[in-house]
Amino acid sequence: MSSSRLNLTKIRPYLYLVPSLALLSVFTYFPILYSTYLSFFRQNVFTLEPVFDWFANYAAVFEEPVFKIVVRNTVVYALGTIPITMFLALLMAILLNEQLGWIRDIYRVACFYPTMIPMAAAGMLAVWLFNPGIGLINHYLKMFGVPTIEWLYDMKWALPAIMLTAIWKNFGYFMLIYLAGLQNIPGELYESASIEGCGFWSRLRYITLPLLGPTTVFVVIQGIITSFQVFDLVYVMTQGGPADRTNVFVYYIYQNAFRFWDFGQASALTVMFVIVLLILVFILTRFMERRVHYEV
């Protein structure tokens, strides 16, 4: 009697975890293993049954000339959007952390509301704005004497157009994260700094930015995860075109799986994607945590 009760208290914690663990196993852990397994099989419209073929799918990935473009697009997208988004977010957060009265709420709403819009809908807004003939953006650019840009139909400008849309959509969220970080900095620090006669830039350099270190680590990692998973905008705005100039990693996986029905190839890409993402996040956490020397 007493021994069975003892057992029950021992397994009780695990029982609480069962629902979550079961679901996570089926939809997160097993898929990763399953992808790895599938990536070793040739499985496409030409094969009736999956055929084991070692690393053929991985080799095929690198033989595909489009893959190079896809990697370049994804990297350009990440390197282009993350710093600009962070800069805008930080700038707005610093300004909005001032005492501005009731109008502060309006600014905050104006910057944050794009977070509430579905990416797909944001893509639609952007398609309309970037319309070469009657779009608002070209209209205002023309006023400044800029010749008509074909935007989404132009090999050079399609990706920047998507990046601009993403920056507009995302910076407000990161601004809030920075605002939260700023509000955790004790006001006394600024007071004593001003007694010491520190000017604007030195306060920014020696108080604000260092104390925002942990927030920045979080923002960069979030930024990388979001920008590596960009898909909706590409799907709605360009379908990867023109000539794959906006084809990014997740879109390429989708294309291989559900347009070309090549699950083997798509799985190999998935495995590579997961590995690259985990390594990036791991390295960044390590690297940046060493540089974040102040603690809040």
Cβ atoms of 245 and 158 closer than 8 Å: yes
Q: Smallest distance from the beta carbon of 106 to other proteins, in angstroms?
A: 7
Near other proteins in 134-193, by CB under 8 A: 134, 136, 139, 168, 172-173, 176-177, 179-181, 183-185, 187, 190
* Among the residue ranges 20-28, 47-55, 65-73, 153-161, the one whose residues contact other proteins (CB under 8 A): 20-28
191 vs 74, 185, 269, CA distance in Å?
Answer: 44, 12, 53
What is the rounded distance in angstroms from the CA atom of residue 55 to the CA atom of residue 52? 9
CB of residue 79 to other proteins, shortest distance in Å: 20
- Residue 28 binds to other proteins (criterion: CB under 8 A): yes
Residue from 127, 161, 212, 248 binding other proteins (CB under 8 A)? 127
284 near 224, Cβ under 8 Å?
yes
Determine the length of the chain: 296
Q: How far is the CB of 76 from other proteins (least distance, A)?
A: 21
Q: Which of residues 232-291 bind other proteins (CB under 8 A)?
A: 232, 235-236, 250, 253-254, 257-258, 263, 266-267, 270, 273-274, 277-278, 281
Site for other proteins in 49-68 (CB under 8 A): none
State the Cα–Cα distance between residues 172 and 232, nearest whole angstrom: 19
DSSP 146: P
> Which residue from 2, 3, 4, 20 is in contact with other proteins, where contact means CB under 8 A?
20
Residue 153 DSSP symbol: G
| 106, burial (CB in 10 Å: exposed 0-12, middle 13-18, buried 19+) | exposed
CA–CA gap between residue 267 and residue 260 (Å, rounded):
13
Binding of other proteins at residue 229 (CB under 8 A)?
yes
Query: How far is residue 32's CA from residue 17's CA, in Å, rounded to a whole number?
Result: 21
108 binds other proteins (CB under 8 A): yes
8 touches other proteins (CB under 8 A): no
Could you say whether residue 27 binds other proteins (CB under 8 A)?
yes
* H/E element, 14: helix 2-24
Stretch that binds other proteins, among 52-60, 67-75, 115-123, 286-294 (CB under 8 A): 115-123
User: In whole angstroms, how close is the CB of 116 to other proteins at the nearest point?
Assistant: 5
Residue that is written with structure tokens 């390429």 in the block = 252
Q: Is 213 in the site for other proteins (CB under 8 A)?
A: no
- As given in the structure block, the two tokens for residue 261 are 């029905």
Size of the site for other proteins (CB under 8 A): 103
Q: Which is nearer to other proteins, 69 or 96 (CB)?
A: 96
201 lines the binding site for other proteins (CB under 8 A): yes
Q: Report the distance separating Cα 30 and Cα 35, nearest Å.
A: 8
Which part of the chain contacts other proteins (CB under 8 A), choosing from 29-37, 49-57, 67-75, 286-294?
29-37
